Amino acid sequence: MCAKLLSLDLKKRGVAVATVHPGFMRMKMTRGVDIDKFWVEGGTVHPSVAAESLVEWIGTFDISKTGQYWAPRDAA
């Protein structure tokens, strides 16, 4: 909600705001907390793969998409 409200305030200044989910990443934080079994079936990716997806997505982001929630890797 904060991002949405911020996007409404900043749109008139030409500033785009987005909330982006990088996806379910395979890292120490997601291992050993009883979700390891979801690493494969949950579609985890290495952070570098998630970063590549975000960089690619950023190239498509513009003011017309401001205030929206995005999951470039279909992580929603």
Q: What are phi and psi of 56, to 5 degrees?
A: -65, -45
Is the overall model pTM greater than 0.75, yes or no?
Answer: no
- Give the chain's domain count: 1
Question: CA–CA distance from 44 to each of 17, 33, 36, 71, 76 (Å)?
Answer: 26, 15, 10, 14, 13
Show the domain range for 39: 2-70
In a domain? residue 52 = yes
| Mean pLDDT for back-to-back runs of 10 residues, the chain (76 residues) | 94 94 74 63 76 88 92 58
Q: Assess contact for 50 and 23: CB atoms under 8 A.
A: yes
Expressed in angstroms, the distance from the first to the final Cα of the chain is: 16
Answer whether residue 76 is part of any domain. Answer: no
Residue 57 within any structural domain of the chain:
yes
Instruction: Assess if residue 75 is contained within a domain.
Output: no
Alpha-carbon span 76 to 71, nearest angstrom: 6
